[in-house]
Structure 1
Amino acid sequence: MQFTWRYMDELIGKGLSLDVLGQFFWYMAVTLVPMSLPLAVLLASLITFGNMGEQLELLSMKAAGVPLIRIMRPILIVVIMVTGTSFYFQNFTSPQAQISMQTLLFSMKQAQPAVEIPEGVFYNEIPDLNLYVQRKNAETGMLYQVIIYKTDQGFDKAQIVLADSGRLEMSEDKLHLKLDLWSGTQSEAWQQGGVSAMGSIKLPFDRETFNYKQVIIDFDSNFALMDKNMLNNMPQAKNMRQIETSVDSIESSLDSIGQRFYDDVKLRWYRVPNLSEQQTKSLARMKAVPFDTLLSSMSPDRLQTAKTRAAGDIRSIRSELEWKSVMSGEGDSNIRRHWKEWHQKMTLSLACLFFFFVGAPLGAIIRKGGLGLPAVISVLIFIFYYIIDTSGMKMARDGSWNMIYGMWISSAVLIPFGVFLTYKSNKDSVMFNSELYAAFFRQLLGLRSSRHINRKEVIINETNYDRLPAEIDRLREGCHEYAQAANLMSAPNYFHIFFRHTTDSRVEKLGEQMDKIVEELSNSREPQVLAETNRLPIIYAHAHISPFTSREANMAAGIFFPVGLILWARIWRFRLRLLRDLRQIEKTCMRLNLIINTLNKPEQAVTEEAEETLPTHKKHRRREWAIAIIVILLAFAGGWYTYRHFRNNRPDKPIKTKKTIPTSIPENSSGRTLPMPKPLKQS
């Protein structure tokens, strides 16, 4: 489809027959067979072994002792035959199909388009003629208000035809167009004295008035197929032996051209004469003269003339070398295109075999058949292969990479990938188990996982409630002692983490002890016991000590400070999580003991014991709530006091003063007290 849309604009409107289009699509499909066979082998092998895995057929054969390699052997023989067929097809059939398709495509491009006169615009698809039609009648084929510009004799002798109506028809031999015109005029400018009619000088012209006129136009609408021998030199049209012969001839031709260039430059620019033996001996006896001495012996005019001549010679040499480099570059590019086709005939053939060793084990691993998941996976793998193959091919064709490296890089990627998948599938590896990847990323990112213990329908070993309280108390006391002794709230020591790797056996023992209790409690029939058991966290015994179990890996991570800093922060996070988990274990153990004691003793005794042995964590919780409430109240009071103090002492707040109205004016210089004047009334 991509190839079809690439040339669609050049094929539409040419009036091509169905047999020509059928040949074009047939040859196009034949040329695409070498690229489609690897994808077909990949998809077929993936679907086949996916169906066998989904129907448990592979499992049955492996249970009988048949390895995967032996299961793949019959299909491998078929794939080898397909690989050989692909190689034969590319070496013998595909070159002939390429010649036929390119010949047909070039002939279709050169075909004359079908005459379809539009309305209101000039139509220029007819050679040496521009036709304008204002209106046309599709039923009768009549054209109205016709304007014709004929330039078959050149633009200087252009003919202009105006007609009231006309009709355009094709001759029976499809070599000419007949244009019948009615009620019009024909004008043609005269050419006098070599003066162009396009100039500003007004020239006389010949005008003819007619009632009816017929114009015959040369227009070959027959489809003519070009000679196939014109395309025999294409690299795509040759087999491997012909490519080797062509490369040898091109290289010998380039060598002869290069030798001729060298001889020409040596004689023209370096001026190396052909000397006899006597002249060579006499020249050897001469003494060399310094270049500066020669320059000083020349007159200024002669020196300037020599410099000008040398500069002109340099420009001539440069332009000539640029032209010769283009010629040699085209020859080298032609050689690379030939070698590209030579290598591609083998890489595409072997890709069928390589894709089988990718698709068959991959189908056995995913165990999904049909056209759903296998089709998606095969298309993604093939796109990845196609990108690598196309990139390497273009780099090798342009000369950026070595030809062998560029053409075989896709195969170099497929081979180890296929070997790896075959090995994993033969060893019954669970590569595509989502739970394994989820557990890996959960551990890498430090995501918490919880327990999911459900009530069992059939219980063989009942839970021993008499022995469990003592074990739960030991677990709680061990967690409490470790939390106080380990000081998990503080930041870890960077040097100890990466350069003094140790193990924490106490956490491992606590984890093993808790797992035994969980295993015992999982056989309980009480929903409350199962609910409290699910609240017990899962402890990572080594995540709070060092990032890796290997000493060398820890030292390498510590040396690279940015990586070590991230891992150090991760370890601190796990230390804080371990502290929270230990506290959660203590609380859960207290609740479990309370529930178990409720199940073991009568209600009254349990009530008295519960009152006597009230868990201390509840008292601590009440104390913490009381302290938190007091702190909140104090913070609120302090904030309110600060707000009031700031509001009363704002610098922009006006100062309130008590207004006093004087009853008299102070004494004047004479010592008399003056009375207050009466305020004036406002008008």
Structure 2
Amino acid sequence: MLRMKRIDKYVLTNFLTLFFATFFICSFILIMQFLWMNIGEMVGKGLPFTVLMEFFFYAWLSLVPLALPLAILLASLMAFGNMGENLELLAMKSAGVSLFRIMRSLMVFIFFISIGAFVFSNNVIPISQKKMWSLMFSIRQKSPELNIPVGQFYSGIDNMRLYVRSKNHDTGALVDVMMYDYSKGFNNANITTADTVYVKMTEDKLFLKITFINGEGFENINNNESGFKSKNVPYRRESFARREILVDFDANFNEMDESLLNNQHVSKDIVRLSHDIDSINDIKDSLINTYTNLLVNEKYFSNAYTPDSLLVDDRNISHNNALYPEDEVLDVDSIFMHAPYRSAKTIASSLKARVSSMLNDAQYNAIVIQDNKSYYNRHAIELHRKFTLSFACLIFFFIGAPLGAIIRKGGLGMPVVVSVLMFIVYYIIDTMGVKFAREGVIDVWQGMWLSSFVLLPIGIFLTYKAATDSALFNKDGYKIFFNHLKLKIKELKSKSLFNRKSNINSAE
């Protein structure tokens, strides 16, 4: 039976405590940012609590690829910073334990975390993305909650505008109401005024039952189908003691069908992405070959057809016995210049139409190929994203752990500042790489792995410096280095002055 050694258990326990805490904090911050960006889509719609919780749960799952690397970076930096500040790393190294031996248990743990991150990206992220976006589209389509303000026009009901002067909060009645109904068009609006109005939702929450008490209605009577506009438009006016109307107002939350997002790149795993990428490449090659053949075979690139019976071997042609002198053979430009005005105009119009048709065909074909390329780029980006998350976890561990051992500062001060700065650099580079890859500026694999290419040398450098006990952030070390550099400069200056004096003396 394998037993974990005490040093491995101690280091792993310290790291796990900080890891779960930082992961929760990072997830909470990212969720708050997500809420702040989408708060306008959810406020004032009366969404059920269960729908909101489900939406935020899937949003949290989708944000794990951002929270996990940041949590690993911050936790490893804080763990080794605490051990360095408490001289625990110094005691271990004094006992002959190397930094890699101290990091061994965490290296194994981070390796399994990276494998888990890959499985999570491949199996969980597509499902969470599909459910999150289906809920997002459903929330956007949800009608706002009925909340008619006082003193301003309310436009929350389709094709209607309501103006309320006051409300009776005891009975819920709207007092002194004016309603514009634009269901028949803006120029044929029906206007209804009433002293008191009651608005109630039907039991199925599909209609609004609006009851008008003591009011009048105004309606234009425009039966002129000839299109002739008259200054005097007849209208109808009626008074009523009570009127009830039903208005379409779906207040239910209707969730979008998730199957509509099955063909989106965010909803696919590696197997489907690889298969679709191959299919897209085949379609792209087929489109290019088809458009190339069409372009080459068009009549503005073809030559005039000459029957085989009229072809004569060049060896049997005697240029001296030609029917006409060579200078009398006219080319196309000469024919056009000597043609009558109408014929020349017809030829020019025909050429212009052909060129315009050629340009339109080329532009359309270019758009089709560009759309196919964009579709390919989105799928390829999503495929590489499955692997970059796992690699980012490894890189951030080999940045955070050595950096914490070097700076020897724990807590939430210096480690948080350094971690946030490193993550901002990673996020900016990663965002730029994804943008360039999506737009086709660089290859997809270059854009997706750009941040890893930049941070990997930093991780290797910091690991080497921490393993060799380099005083990378030690002020005294830099003071000694600059003082030694000043002494070297002074020695060089004194030697140069001595050589000048000796040269002058020898010259005299």
- Shorter-chain TM-score bucket reads 0.7 to 0.9
- 1:71 corresponds to: 102
Q: Secondary structure at the match of 1:224?
A: coil
Moved more, 36-45 or 147-156: 147-156
**Matches for 1:483-498 after TM superposition, within 5 Å:** none
2:132 is aligned with 1:185: no
* Amino acid corresponding to residue 446 of structure 2 in structure 1: Y
CA distance, structure 1, for counterparts of residue 218 and residue 243 of structure 2: 13
1:204-230 C-alpha deviation (Å, 9 max, x unpaired): 222221011111111110000011111
Distance in 2 of aligned mates of 1:128 and 1:280: 73
Corresponding residue number in structure 1 for 2:490? 543
Letter of the structure 1 residue corresponding to residue 172 of structure 2: G
1:91 equivalent in alignment to 2:132: no
Which position in structure 2 is the counterpart of 1:18? 49
Q: 1:294 Cα deviation (Å)?
A: 4.1
The CA deviation at 1:93 is 0.4
Task: State how 1:469-548 maps to structure 2 within 5 Å.
Answer: 540=487, 542-543=489-490, 545-546=492-493
Query: Offset of 1:299 from its aligned partner?
Result: 3.5
Q: State which of 252, 273, 276 in structure 2 corresponds to 1:222.
A: 252
SS at match of 2:196: strand
1:49, 1:364 within 8 Å by CA — same for their partners in 2?
yes
What corresponds to 1:389 in structure 2?
430
Corresponding residue number in structure 2 for 1:453: none
Please give the secondary structure, in 2, of the residue aligned with 1:24.
helix
Q: Which residue of 2 aligns with 1:160?
A: 191
* 2:394 paired residue number: 353
Task: Name the % identity.
Answer: 40
Deviates more, 1:120-129 or 1:432-441: 432-441
Change (3 A) 1:82 1:303: same
- In 1, the alpha carbon distance for the partners of 2:153 and 2:227 equals 25
Determine helix, strand or coil for the equivalent of 2:280: helix
Q: Which amino acid aligns with 2:490?
A: A
CA distance in 2, matches of 1:189, 1:218: 23
Cα distance in 1 for partners of 2:356, 2:147 equals 55
- What amino acid does structure 2 have at the position aligned with 1:295? F
Matching residue of 2:500 = none
Post-superposition CA distance 1:441-487 (Å, at most 9, x none): 6777x7xxxxxxxxxxxxxxxxxxxxxxxxxxxxxxxxxxxxxxxxx
Q: 1:120 aligns with which of 116, 134, 151?
A: 151
Residue identity matched to 1:323: Y
TM-fit CA distance, 1:88: 0.5
Among 170, 190, 194, the residue aligned to 1:139: 170
Report the equivalent of 1:321.
Answer: 362
Q: Is the 8 A contact 1:179 1:216 kept in 2?
A: yes
Task: Give the 3 Å change call, closer, same or farther, for CA 200–107 of structure 1 in structure 2.
Answer: same
Output the CA distance in 2 between the equivalents of 1:97 and 1:409. Answer: 26
**Is 1:253 paired with 2:283?**
yes
Query: How far, CA to CA, are the matches of 2:83 and 2:284 in structure 1?
Result: 58
How far is 1:336 from its partner? 0.8
Aligned mates of 1:285, 1:404 — CA distance in 2: 57
Counterparts of 1:321 and 1:427, CA distance in 2: 62
Moved more, 310-319 or 94-103: 310-319
Cα deviations by residue, 1:386-417 (Å, 9 ceiling, x for unpaired): 11111111111111122222211111122111
User: RMSD across aligned C-alpha pairs, in angstroms?
Assistant: 2.8
Paired letter, 1:242: R
1: CA distance, partners of 2:488 / 2:421: 41
User: Deviation string for 1:621-640 (max 9, x for gaps)?
Assistant: xxxxxxxxxxxxxxxxxxxx
C-alpha separation between the residues in 2 aligned to 1:44 and 1:410? Answer: 21
Tell me how far apart the structure 2 counterparts of residues 128 and 429 of structure 1 sit (CA, whole Å): 73
Q: TM-score scaled by structure 1? A: 0.62
In the TM superposition, what is the alpha-carbon distance from 1:269 to its structure 2 partner? 5.0
Residues 627-665 of structure 1: per-residue CA shift (max 9 Å, x gap): xxxxxxxxxxxxxxxxxxxxxxxxxxxxxxxxxxxxxxx
Change (3 A) 1:264 1:210: farther
Q: Aligned match of 2:372 in 310, 321, 331?
A: 331
Q: How do residues 338-417 of structure 1 correspond to structure 2 at under 5 angstroms?
A: 338-417=379-458
Residue 541 of structure 1, CA deviation: 6.3
Q: Does 1:2 align with 2:43?
A: no
Measured in 1, the distance between the counterparts of 2:46 and 2:388 equals: 40
Residues 77-102 of structure 1 show CA distances to partners (whole Å, capped at 9, x for unaligned) of 00000000000000110000000000
Shift of 1:296: 5.0
Once the two structures are TM-superposed, the CA of residue 251 in structure 1 deviates from its matched residue by 2.8
Instruction: Please tell me the residue identity of whatever aligns with 1:102.
Output: W
Task: State the 1:263 CA deviation.
Answer: 4.8
User: What is the letter of the counterpart of residue 442 of structure 2?
Assistant: W
Are the counterparts in 2 of residues 156 and 196 from structure 1 also a CA contact under 8 Å? Answer: no
Alpha-carbon offset, residue 268 of structure 1: 5.2
CA distance in 2, matches of 1:311, 1:74: 75
Partner amino acid, structure 2, of 1:216: L
Inter-partner Cα distance in structure 1 for 2:399 and 2:198: 66
Matched-pair contact (CA < 8 Å) for 1:131–1:147 = yes
Deviation at 1:285, TM superposition (A): 6.9
Contact 1:123 1:130 in 2 (8 A): yes
Q: Is the 8 A contact 1:267 1:273 kept in 2?
A: no
Verify: 1:108 aligned to 2:149, yes or no.
no
Deviations 1:57-81 (A, max 9, x none): 2222222222111221111000000
Deviation at 1:265, TM superposition (A): 4.2
TM superposition score normalised by structure 2: 0.82
Secondary structure of the equivalent of 2:492? coil
User: Unaligned 5+ residue runs, structure 2?
Assistant: 1-31, 318-328, 498-508
CA distance in 2, matches of 1:5, 1:118: 25
Which has the higher mean CA deviation after the structures are superposed, 55-64 or 227-236?
A: 55-64
Shift of 1:347: 1.1
SS at match of 1:32: helix
CA distance 1:62–1:153, shift in 2 (3 Å): same
- Alpha-carbon spacing, 1:233–1:546, altered in 2? closer, same or farther (3 Å): farther
Q: Distance in 2 between matches of 1:205 and 1:266?
A: 66
Deviating more after overlay: 243-252 vs 343-352: 243-252
Superposed displacement of residue 280, structure 1? 6.9
**In the comparison of the two structures, how many residue pairs are matched?**
453
More relative contact order, 1 or 2 (CA 8 Å, 6+ apart): 2
- 1:160 aligned counterpart, secondary structure: strand
* Mapping for residues 429-448 of structure 1, pairs under 5 Å: 429-440=470-481
- After the TM superposition, which of the residue ranges 222-231 and 157-166 deviates more from structure 2? 157-166
The equivalent of 2:239 in structure 1 is 209
Letter in 2 for 1:158: A
Structure 2: distance between partners of 1:442 and 1:420: 25
Task: Give me the whole-angstrom Cα distance separating, in 2, the residues matched to 1:351 and 1:546.
Answer: 50
- 1:312 matched to 2:356: no
Structure 1 letter corresponding to 2:455? L
